[in-house]
Chain A
Amino acid sequence: MSDELSQDTTPEPREGIGRRTLIKRAAAAGAVAWTAPVILDSLASPAAAVSCAKCFKFGIQAVDNGDANPTKTSTYPSRSYDVGSCFPNGDAKCATEKEGANFTDLGITLTNPFQVDLPSSSQVTVSMAQSGTFAGAGCNTPYQITGASFIWRSTSADERFPTGTGDDGVCEPAKPGDSPTTGNPFPHNHLVSISTSSVTWTMPQSLKPGHSGGFNFVIGCDCG
């Protein structure tokens, strides 16, 4: 890796183009094989990315007995297991937990059922309405997803995990901008998509269906 730091702002006018640099670059780029110039990525600094004036964090349990179609947020963080608490991005800078809040009050819609015993063909999506200002919560804009995480566990009979490890837990965090993980090796392969307005996960087909998973969210409004 070169250690060269180029001139701040526009360089001084020079005779032609900096040919030495040009040739160095061209050689590295393949010289005769011109490829289209591409911006690989454009990113804001993490400090700027998470600056929301208001934030809330909450859990949604994924269960199959009694509340597979939740309408309210649950405790945060949702579940814990042997993988510990599965905190999403933005957790450390957000202190306000919202337990028992109506989804409608937060602009949340979701697809059901939230059952982690279902196979990967079953997907769940949590969406944040992108209209309305939720003035009651002091917001001037709709909520955005800052981070999310999916925690679940199976049993020692689940042969996908190493044997003899007891009940196995998985924590998969995600934040807007992350790529899908569905093509990755098991077990961190359940993220279908995530943006600031929605997140979709596949179900893992856990062998322990009752109270065996949950989702955590950090959301914010009036984000810079």
Chain B
Amino acid sequence: MADAGHISGHVSGALGGRFVARRARGMVTVDAEPEALVLHEPTGYFHLLNPAAALVWDCVDGVTSASTIAAEIGAVTGAPFERVLRDTLALLGELRDLGALEDTALPAAPPVPPPPRQRLEFLDERFAAAPEAAELGVTVNGVSVTVRATRPAPVEVLRAALGPLAGGPTPGAPEISILCGREGNVGRDLDRVYAETVEVTRTGSAARVAHVALRLVDDLLAGPDDTLVSLQADALVDAASAVVLVDDRSSVRRVGARNLARIGLRRLDLASATIDPTTGELVVSPPGRALGRAPFDALARALPLDDDPAPPGRSPVHTLVLFGATPDALKTTSPARRMGSLVALVTRVDGTARGADLTALARLADRWRVVRELGLTPDDVRDVLQSVVAQAGAVQNGAVQNGAVQNGAVQNAPSS
């Protein structure tokens, strides 16, 4: 092994062979052999490393100097020590500048404060311009949620169903926002229900609005189940009770419920798609986890619904559709880049992302059929979903043994 201090010049900025790096707080590594994805969990920022960079990153332990790392790598690869050290220092310097690692000679950076809650500005503008806007708050076990609507009726319906649980809003609490449709010359807009920044449903049914909103309140109060993986995706159920997950919700909304129904799909009104990482099934928990059954029963009596917007239970997932990929991303064979295309799915509304969720999703993506598509127009989206449903049916019928390429999509073979 070469002397750790043999090269002490400033090869990359101020870095020399004695430089000892530690990984920054909140960084986790998700293997994408032979590459790697390093993720900053508090912000969702991530870096994709080629095999050599993944090797160097793997050696960053807060104890070993850069020159020792280079000597170890040189011994394994046979590459000249000086060259490996130069390359290693260049990479470490770059990662340091990106905040992914720190100099052990300096105090550790303080923890990253939680990101401010994202807000949809147009929602706030609509509420500011709504003189009849109403709101209520619910607090259970110290957790609070606020429900607001641009007209009083939805809030009053929920207040009646919640009974004594309904109170005043808590400042800063997560919000369920009900944007009541505006009257126009030729009818009325649909009502929309948002969970924080996520539009969950768009409907003309006051009953559906109330049921979806109450369900969201219950889910927010209960909090996420850390044994499950929450995906920022739409869940579309087909006739076989299987599920298509789609990562671009706005695309699905433009297709519309009627067009979805024509191709045999129905969208579940969920804030996120919750997946069991062991079985790969979509899990819809029964309502009442935080609020109990009483408010749901009261609402069902006051405003009955024929169909449950998100019936509880488990359904197998057969396809994951990723929209909006660039042509380059469609063609990539890089495991890290493919892993990177999944990060948005596990990035929560608050901007954080868990490496464990990404790892679990990557494992599931090996089992599910994954379709990557460019489509952003309603026609594109409808065509893609139609082909997904058709092919899933063919697979179930044994007509297709392997994923054929349709619509120019690059996709995994279905799990065997």
Residues in A with CB closer than 8 Å to B24 are: 9
In the complex, how many angstroms separate the beta carbon of A61 from the nearest chain B beta carbon?
18
A160 within 8 A of B: no
Indicate with 1 or 0, residue by residue over A78-110, a CB within 8 angstroms of chain B CB atoms. 000011111101011111100000000000000
Asked whether, in the complex, the Cβ of B122 is within 8 Å of the Cβ of A94, the reply is yes
In the complex, how many angstroms separate the beta carbon of B259 from the nearest chain A beta carbon?
11
Residues in A with CB closer than 8 Å to B25 are: 9
Residues in B with CB closer than 8 Å to A178 are: 326
Residues in B with CB closer than 8 Å to A9 are: 22-27
Q: What range describes how many residues of B lie at the interface?
A: 35 or more
A159 within 8 A of B: no
Q: How far is the CA of A41 from the CA of B64 in the complex (A)?
A: 26
A6 within 8 A of B: yes
Select the stretch in B40-48, B215-223, B296-304, B396-404 that faces chain A.
B40-48
Asked whether, in the complex, the Cβ of B52 is within 8 Å of the Cβ of A34, the reply is yes
Contact of A34 among B63, B84, B349, B355 (CB under 8 A): B84
Asked whether, in the complex, the Cβ of A44 is within 8 Å of the Cβ of B44, the reply is yes
A5-B356, A6-B29, A92-B199 known; A32 vs B47 contact (CB < 8 Å): no
A26 within 8 A of B: yes
Asked whether, in the complex, the Cβ of B61 is within 8 Å of the Cβ of A22, the reply is no
Asked whether, in the complex, the Cβ of A45 is within 8 Å of the Cβ of B353, the reply is yes
B378 within 8 A of A: yes
Residues in B with CB closer than 8 Å to A84 are: 254, 377-380
Contact of A43 among B73, B340, B376 (CB under 8 A): B340
B49 within 8 A of A: yes
A2-B31, A17-B69, A44-B45 known; A22 vs B55 contact (CB < 8 Å): yes
Contact of A29 among B52, B374, B376, B378 (CB under 8 A): B52
Asked whether, in the complex, the Cβ of A33 is within 8 Å of the Cβ of B122, the reply is no
Asked whether, in the complex, the Cβ of B44 is within 8 Å of the Cβ of A45, the reply is yes
Residue from B29, B60, B253, B356 having most chain A Cβ neighbours under 10 A: B29
Asked whether, in the complex, the Cβ of A3 is within 8 Å of the Cβ of B363, the reply is yes
Q: How far is the CA of A195 from the CA of B318 in the complex (A)?
A: 36
Q: Which of B320-371 contact A (CB under 8 A)?
A: 324, 326-328, 334-337, 339-340, 343-344, 347-349, 351, 353, 355-356, 359, 362-363, 366
Query: Closest chain A residue to B77 by CB distance?
Result: A34
B139 within 8 A of A: no
Asked whether, in the complex, the Cβ of B31 is within 8 Å of the Cβ of A4, the reply is yes
Contact of B327 among A16, A96, A188 (CB under 8 A): A188
Asked whether, in the complex, the Cβ of B250 is within 8 Å of the Cβ of A26, the reply is no
Contact of A45 among B28, B29, B336, B347 (CB under 8 A): B347
Query: Closest chain A residue to B50 by CB distance?
Result: A38
Contact of B351 among A28, A45, A184 (CB under 8 A): A45
Query: Closest chain A residue to B98 by CB distance?
Result: A42
Indicate with 1 or 0, residue by residue over A139-172, a CB within 8 angstroms of chain B CB atoms. 0000000000100000000000000000000010
Query: Closest chain A residue to B365 by CB distance?
Result: A1
Asked whether, in the complex, the Cβ of A37 is within 8 Å of the Cβ of B49, the reply is yes
In the complex, how many angstroms separate the beta carbon of B205 from the nearest chain A beta carbon?
22
Q: How far is the CA of A106 from the CA of B57 in the complex (A)?
A: 44
Q: How far is the CA of A1 from the CA of B33 in the complex (A)?
A: 6
Indicate with 1 or 0, residue by residue over A19-61, a CB within 8 angstroms of chain B CB atoms. 1011101101111111111111111111110010111000000
In the complex, how many angstroms separate the beta carbon of B174 from the nearest chain A beta carbon?
15
Contact of A48 among B26, B31, B33, B45 (CB under 8 A): B45
B121 within 8 A of A: yes
Q: How far is the CA of A171 from the CA of B90 in the complex (A)?
A: 41
Query: Closest chain B residue to A179 by CB distance?
Result: B328
In the complex, how many angstroms separate the beta carbon of A6 from the nearest chain B beta carbon?
4
Q: How far is the CA of A31 from the CA of B249 in the complex (A)?
A: 44
26 A-B residue contacts at CB 8 Å?
A1-B362, A9-B22, A12-B61, A16-B64, A17-B61, A17-B68, A18-B59, A22-B58, A23-B76, A25-B58, A29-B34, A34-B78, A34-B87, A37-B50, A38-B52, A38-B53, A41-B48, A42-B47, A43-B48, A43-B340, A47-B351, A55-B121, A85-B377, A86-B376, A87-B250, A95-B120
Interface residues of B (CB under 8 A from A): 22-35, 41, 43-56, 58-64, 68-69, 72-74, 76-79, 83-84, 87-88, 90-91, 94-95, 98, 115, 118, 120-122, 125, 197, 199, 249-250, 253-254, 324, 326-328, 334-337, 339-340, 343-344, 347-349, 351, 353, 355-356, 359, 362-363, 366, 374, 376-380
Query: Told that A1-B363, A8-B26, A16-B72 touch, could you supply 6 new A-B pairs with CB distance under 8 A?
Result: A5-B30, A30-B51, A36-B90, A40-B334, A42-B47, A92-B253
* Interface pairs A-B: 8 shortest CB-CB: A45-B44, A28-B34, A34-B79, A92-B250, A95-B122, A37-B53, A6-B29, A84-B377
Interface residues of A (CB under 8 A from B): 1-14, 16-19, 21-23, 25-26, 28-48, 51, 53-55, 82-87, 89, 91-96, 149, 171, 173, 178-179, 181, 184, 188
